[in-house]
Amino acid sequence: MTKLIKRLIPERFIRSISTRLTFFMLLALSVSSLLAGTFLTIIYVTDLKTTWDLGPVKIILIALGISYVSSGIFSIVLNKNILKPLNELTRATKEIASGNFNIKVDNVLNPFNRSSELGTLVDGFNNMAGELKSTEMFRNDFIHNFSHEFKTPIISIRGFARQLYQGNLTPEQEREFARIIMDESEQLANMSSNVLLLTKLENQEIVTDKTQFSLDEQLRNCLILFEEQWTEKKLNLDLDLEEITIYQNAEILAHVWKNLISNAIKFSKPNGFLIIKCKRTVDHIHISITDTGAGMAEETMSQIFDKFYQGDTSHATPGNGLGLPLTKRIVEMVGGKIYVKSTFGKGSTFTVHLPLQ
């Protein structure tokens, strides 16, 4: 039977088929081993003397060598470019979870393609860590500043209240101490209200409860609220208010004008000028509030919208450093912008640009 098969099928043809089948089977086995992450090869050898020749065995051995070399190279590349960065990310994530926001992962991922998905992941992680660090620093600064600003009036109230309780004061002293307690209490109330409102607005992106109202009339009403203050300083008022109707949240926008007008009066010199203008331009509504006070230095202007920042470090002027940050946040929420221009010793101008409806 074997002789008959050999006569019908040439030996060279069978050898060729055997060699090719062996090679492709081994190649498939090697590739599947690489993909599976395992390197296991089973060799079954029959009686070589009764087979055609050793050609298939040589091919098997060569393919095995290529398979193991390829596996080694693949393992090195996998460890260097994927596993190592992932392990580094895992370690850094644990550091973040423990409260260490100073962690940073070096982008030594794929030397051939820095813009790979893994590289993008590392960049995103580093950006996240940086934002968390900034947030943590802001939180600590906020708590420190708030505690300081909150503690100062409380100490003052407690001290003057003790003096009133102990007695032995003249009627004039009693009235003066009572006035100080009232002023400090009002400052505490204003600071608490501003903190609550600022916290609310910082977590709010959409302005709701919009109504149509007269902007120039709102500016006049806000100015009237401070009549006692600007009358006491004998300020000269200069109003140039164009009749403008807008569609916005009137309640939160009123905070802007109250803060700006209050500051202008507060820092104006007696017999100075308070100038308020409101005009419609080609692409926005222009509101400016100008005082003829002491003005600001460049350093003060660069930080004037920072929370709890006060240009008057002596705290001789009442305030808690939250009014202007709150003003800026409201203006930005309604889609506007706020600018400050000041000349030291001459006064300041705060300008608000609101979008046209």
Burial class (CB in 10 A: 0-12, 13-18, 19+), 252: buried
Determine contact, residues 193/252, Cβ cutoff 8 Å: no
Identify the three-state secondary structure at position 296.
coil
Instruction: Indicate if the pLDDT at residue 261 is higher than 80.
Output: yes
What average pLDDT does range 97-123 have in this prediction? 65
More confident: 134 or 339: 339
Q: Specify the pLDDT at position 71.
A: 63
Q: Rounded to whole angstroms, what are the CA distances from 310 to 145, 183, 237, 296, 344?
A: 11, 18, 26, 11, 16
pLDDT reported for residue 43: 44
Q: Which of 5-9, 173-177, 182-186, 302-306 has the highest mean pLDDT?
A: 173-177
- Contact between residue 355 and residue 280 where contact means Cβ atoms under 8 Å apart: no
| DSSP sequence for 259-289 | HHHHHHHHHBPTT-EEEEEEEE-SSEEEEEE
In degrees, rounded to 5, the angle at the alpha carbon of residue 44 between the alpha carbons of residues 38 and 48 is: 145
End-to-end CA distance of the chain: 99
Task: Judge contact between 219 and 241, C-beta under 8 A.
Answer: yes
Q: Are 79 and 110 in contact (CB under 8 A)?
A: no
Q: Report whether 351 contacts 339 (CB < 8 A).
A: yes
Q: In CATH, what number does 208-355 get?
A: 3.30.565.10
In the predicted model, is pLDDT for residue 177 greater than 70? Answer: yes
Instruction: Report how far residue 67's alpha carbon sits from residue 63's, in angstroms, rounded to the nearest whole number.
Output: 6
pLDDT, position 223: 94
Domain boundaries, the chain: 2-91, 208-355
In this structure, the number of other CB atoms found within 10 A of the CB of residue 290 comes to 20
- As a whole number of angstroms, the distance between CA 60 and CA 31 comes to 14
Nearest to 340 by CA among 266, 279, 275, 289: 289
Q: Give tens-digit pLDDT for 213-252.
A: 999 999 999 999 999 999 999 999 999 999 999 999 898 8
Q: How far apart are CA 35 and CA 58, in angstroms?
A: 25
- Residue 167, SS3 per DSSP: coil
Question: Tokens for 299?
Answer: 């350093």
Q: What is the pLDDT of residue 90?
A: 78
Global model pTM greater than 0.75: no
